[in-house]
Structure 1
Amino acid sequence: MKCNIDGAAKGNTGLAGCGGVFRNHEANLLYYFAEPLGFFTSFQAELSAAISAIEVAFRFNWHNLWIETDSTLVVRAFQNHSYVVTWNLRNKWTNALFLFKQLNGIVSHIFREGNQVADSLANYGCTLTSSSSCHQAPGFIRYGSEKNKLGFPSFRIYS
């Protein structure tokens, strides 16, 4: 099970949200989530996405989990479990690490061009008043999800 995650903050600290999309080995979308977070930093939003992904995977008994994030800080937090996390996320982070140890999981970095569906979900989370999740792709991520499934590249254009 692969989960691409992202967090977004409209300002740093600002109104924040997070999101993630779970896909199987054939790149079929199995589940997505988008959550409003209130006022967080961008790192707190990114870390919240990772925590939520672990909680969802554990709830559905998806014991082989690959988390992909465009946040190198989140990857570092998983590499160094003594990484200092802000007080408002410390308990959730500790619990998520406990759950993650029970999963056959890895965390890796992906460039933001390859993480556009999760980015859309995180930005959507910023607009919500309560969490949203489903086993079917909402319309605004269908195109990006299908593009990913077909292996179409995403480019970063420099000018």
Structure 2
Amino acid sequence: MEAPPPPPPPPPPEGWVQIQTNGSVLSLSGSAAAGGLIRDCLGRCLVAFAGNLGTCSITAAELKGAVVGLQMAWDRGHRKVQLKLDSATAVAIIKNCADDEHRHGLLAQHAFNLLSRDWDVVVSHVYREGNRTADYLASLGHSLPFGTHHVDVCSPDLCRWLDYDVMGISQPRLINT
């Protein structure tokens, strides 16, 4: 009997916001994208973004999504932030601030500079199955022109994924054995 998939992360405590981001790279074309959203303590989406990154590695796409999400939160005046990523590698790079010689050193340094500002940021890993809204937004980025774009938080597709998260609905991971 398989265990049920993990639910989406719970909303942050009152006074905090939660950033959920994701990166995506299409294996055949190498096209890279990132997406994410900022939620309030009631789980409501305050802002969402999707971006076409051109080509890069999956780790670079994950880091770019985190940097964009952090910058959006800062620009909107949020000073108590939870950052949730479904890439344990990206979380480790952000927390350990890889040096400039590291393959992703510039993105890690950008994240570190954002984290060094006068605010409270908690960075943590979330399972992919619980990060479906950010996954949807990252996938959307592949169809957009190059650059980062705000996504209408009232769009029907985005609302569907947000509703799934609020209801705690997640999708099991399919693994070929």
TM-score (norm 1): 0.88
C-alpha RMSD of matched pairs (Å)? 2.2
Residue of structure 2 equivalent to 1:145: 162
Aligned residue among 98, 101, 109 for 1:94: 109
Preserved contact between residue 87 and residue 125 of structure 2 (Cα < 8 Å): yes
Preserved contact between residue 25 and residue 32 of structure 2 (Cα < 8 Å): yes
Distance 1:51 1:12, change over 3 A: farther
Preserved contact between residue 33 and residue 141 of structure 2 (Cα < 8 Å): yes
Q: Would you tell me which structure has more helix in proportion to its own residues?
A: 1
Residue of structure 2 equivalent to 1:81: 97
For the residues of structure 2 that align with 1:134 and 1:39, how far apart are their CA atoms? 21
Residue of structure 2 equivalent to 1:37: 53
Quote the offset at 1:158 in angstroms.
5.6
Residue of structure 1 equivalent to 2:26: 10
* 1:25-82 Cα deviation digits (max 9, x unpaired): 1101111000110011111101100110111111111111111111001110122113
Residue of structure 1 equivalent to 2:127: 111
Larger radius of gyration: 2
For the residues of structure 2 that align with 1:13 and 1:86, how far apart are their CA atoms? 21
- Map 1:34-73 to 2 at 5 A: 34-73=50-89
Distance 1:158 1:18, change over 3 A: closer
Q: How many residues align?
A: 157
Residue of structure 2 equivalent to 1:22: 38
For structure 1, the 5+ residue unaligned runs are none
For the residues of structure 2 that align with 1:150 and 1:15, how far apart are their CA atoms? 32
* 1:90-118 Cα deviation digits (max 9, x unpaired): 1x542331121222001111111101110
3-state SS of 1:11 partner: coil
For structure 2, the 5+ residue unaligned runs are 1-16
Deviates more, 1:31-40 or 1:75-84: 75-84
Distance 1:11 1:85, change over 3 A: farther
Deviates more, 1:145-154 or 1:73-82: 145-154
For the residues of structure 1 that align with 2:140 and 2:69, how far apart are their CA atoms? 16
